[in-house]
Amino acid sequence: MALLEVKKLGISFGGLRAVDEFSVKIEKGELYGLIGPNGAGKTTVFNLLTGVYKPTDGSIILDGVDITGKNTIQINHAGIARTFQNIRLFSNLSVIDNVKVGLHNHYKYSAATGVFRLPKYFRTEKEMDKKALELLKVFDLDKQAYLPASGLPYGKQRKLEIARALATEPKLLLLDEPAAGMNPNETAELMNTIKAVRDEFDMTVLLIEHDMSLVSGICEKLSVLNFGQLLCQGKTGEVLSNPEVITAYLGE
Ligand SMILES: Nc1ncnc2c1ncn2[C@@H]1O[C@H](COP(=O)(O)OP(=O)(O)O)[C@@H](O)[C@H]1O
Ligand SMILES: [Mg+2]
């Protein structure tokens, strides 16, 4: 059984069919790319998968559970975490506290334990610190753990967003143009980090990118969207040699 199975997903905004009959199957541990020119409907697919928009058609099954029409919180609890095309960090919080926001999903103590600072509170906080630092280390951010998130260079802020999403221990991680605004060195490093995340956490990743050359190096499979429609999908090599895909990009 595929980890994610999407069938004929669709939504319209007024007269615009932003996503039409989008179907995809993603297996556990796969690094899957969703590509297409600007305005193709990629972010809308993420918004549909995460409950920001309710689809007018189609179904979404995650790990055997139908999550179609659920809200963002329910879907996060079901196991999908995402990052956004524009960075959305808690910029006033420290780097480590941004990750701990994600961890709070899993470490629960009662309000009284927190307010009265009972022993369980300190135990849990200590465990969370340890876990957050371990995660930050994967992203080479552990040395900046106690700095404000806003003080990090742009490339590192993007990495912190991924660390925070991973802290919720998702089954599926959605990354919306994670390399947007990065310089070539930062981009290359980020692609290696995404690969490492997949390998180390056995994570399933769906990655949006509009630059074909970036995804070709790391994704095993691709779906190509154009004007809200699936142009083609399958193994990366086959997709990228499809003349229709090349034409869609040249026409950008
Ligand atoms: N909330 C919305 N209301 C109206 N139109 C929208 C909305 N969200 C997206 N669109 C439109 O849907 C199309 C696809 O947008 P988007 O999914 O952001 O594309 P991509 O991420 O591939 O660049 C665009 O034409 C965009 O203007
Ligand atoms: Mg987008």
Return the CATH number at 30.
Answer: 3.40.50.300
* Distance of CA 43 from the midpoint of ligand 1 (Å): 7
pLDDT-derived band at 48, boundaries 50, 70, 90: very high
Q: In what side-by-side order are the strands of the sheet with 4-13?
A: 16-26, 4-13, 57-62, 65-66
- How many domains does the chain contain in total? 2
Whether residues 93 and 165 share a domain: the answer is yes
The pLDDT-based confidence of 18 (bands split at 50, 70, 90) is very high
Q: Assess if residue 198 is contained within a domain.
A: yes
Answer yes or no: is pLDDT of 139 > 80: yes
- 38 HSE (CA, 13 A, CB side): 3
Q: Is the CB of 39 under 6 A from ligand 1?
A: yes
How many other C-beta atoms are found inside a 10 Å radius of the C-beta of residue 218? 18
Q: Is residue 56 part of a domain?
A: yes
> Same domain for 217 and 237?
yes
Residues 193 and 231 in one domain: yes
Ligand closest to the CA atom of residue 176? 2
Bridge-partner residues for 69, per DSSP?
none
Task: Say yes or no: CB of residue 38 within 6 Å of ligand 1.
Answer: yes
Same domain, 64 and 182: yes
Q: Let me know whether 153 and 214 are in one domain.
A: no
Which ligand places an atom closest to the C-alpha of 34?
1
Are residues 143 and 104 part of one domain? yes
Q: Does a structural domain hold residue 45?
A: yes
d(CA 10, CA 17): 8
Question: Which of 169, 189, 208 finishes a domain?
Answer: 169
Q: Does residue 84 fall inside a structural domain?
A: no
Query: Is the domain of 72 the same as that of 101?
Result: no
Q: Which of 103, 126, 105, 125 is nearest to 114 (CA)?
A: 125
Residues 199 and 213 in one domain: yes
- Report phi then psi at 247, rounded to 5: -65, -40
DSSP characters over 217-241:
TT-SEEEEEETTEEEEEEEHHHHHT
Within-domain flag for 75: yes
- pLDDT, one tens digit per residue, over 20-32 is 999 999 999 999 9
182 and 206 share one domain: yes
Q: Indicate if 151 and 199 belong to the same structural domain.
A: no
The pTM of this model reads 0.90
Q: How far is the CA of 41 from the centre of ligand 2 (A)?
A: 7
Residue 199 lies in a domain: yes
pLDDT digit string (tens) for 84-133?
888 888 888 999 999 998 887 666 656 666 666 666 666 777 888 999 99
Query: Predicted confidence band at 221 (pLDDT cuts at 50, 70, 90)?
Result: very high
Last residue within a domain, chosen from 138, 169, 200 = 169
Look at ligand 1, atom 12, and give the residue with the nearest C-alpha. Answer: 18
**Do residues 72 and 192 share a domain?**
yes
- Residue 111 covered by a domain: yes
pLDDT, average across residues 219-230: 95
Q: Given pLDDT bands bounded at 50, 70 and 90, which one contains residue 194?
A: very high
Residue that is last in its domain, among 104, 139, 169: 169
Instruction: Classify residue 123: in a domain, yes or no.
Output: yes
Range(s) of the domain holding residue 147: 89-169
The ligand placed nearest to the CA atom of residue 13 is 1
Half-sphere exposure of 97 (CA within 13 A, CB side): 11
Same-domain check for residues 175 and 252 = yes
